[in-house]
Amino acid sequence: MRLLHTMLRVTDLDRSIAFYTEVLGMRLLRRQDYPAGKFTLAFVGYGPEHEQAVIELTHNWDIDHYELGTAFGHIAIGVEDVYAACACIRAAGGNISREAGPMKNGTSILAFVEDPDGYKIELLGR
């Protein structure tokens, strides 16, 4: 068994694809409209789906707002240098919600970014 993908519901698919590809450096792997169901799925990731877990962005055409809820925590992305990653993300227009630095009560270096819909993404030093 292996983890295949994480699904996030997004309100503006093009804006979300731009964030994940242009700000976080992922690739758009595939995109498919489902007119009968009035939704579009787009899969983004750092590598092919048969090799790595990816993110499924789901856009329901008739919905323009979601409640994120209190159960979801975050998606984590491993980076070589958290400080440098934050600088690149900021330069690309990304929102850093927690600046790079040591984890509270720990030594891991991390930061948090938010995507256009407010989903939290942890940048964690390898």
Enter the tokens of residue 91.
């330069």
* Model confidence at 69: pLDDT above 90: no
- Check whether residue 80 and residue 117 sit in a common domain: yes
- HEC assignment per residue over the chain: CCCCEEEEECCCHHHHHHHHHHHCCCEEEEEEEECCCCEEEEEEECCCCCCCCEEEEEEECCCCCCCCCCCCCCEEEEECCHHHHHHHHHHCCCEEEEEEEECCCCCCEEEEEECCCCCEEEEEEC
Kindly state the average pLDDT of the residues 53-72. Answer: 92
Q: Are strands 5-9 and 120-125 parallel, antiparallel or unpaired?
A: unpaired
> Residue 126: what pLDDT?
80
Considering the entire predicted model, what is its pTM?
0.89
Is there a domain that residue 66 lies in? no
122 included as an active-site residue: yes
Is there a domain that residue 41 lies in? yes
CATH of the domain at 87: 3.10.180.10
> Residue 10: what pLDDT?
96
- Check whether residue 55 and residue 97 sit in a common domain: no
Q: Which of 22, 99, 114, 122 is catalytic?
A: 122
Torsion angle of C-alpha atoms 93, 51, 53, 126, degrees rounded to 10: -60
> Residue 122: what pLDDT?
96
Range of the domain at 120: 75-125
Number of domains in the chain: 2
Segment 80-123, tens digit of pLDDT: 999 999 999 999 999 999 999 999 888 899 999 999 999 999 99
Is there a domain that residue 68 lies in? no
Cβ–Cβ < 8 Å for 57, 20 = yes
- Check whether residue 10 and residue 48 sit in a common domain: yes
Segment 21-56, tens digit of pLDDT: 999 999 999 999 999 999 999 999 999 999 999 999
- Check whether residue 51 and residue 86 sit in a common domain: no
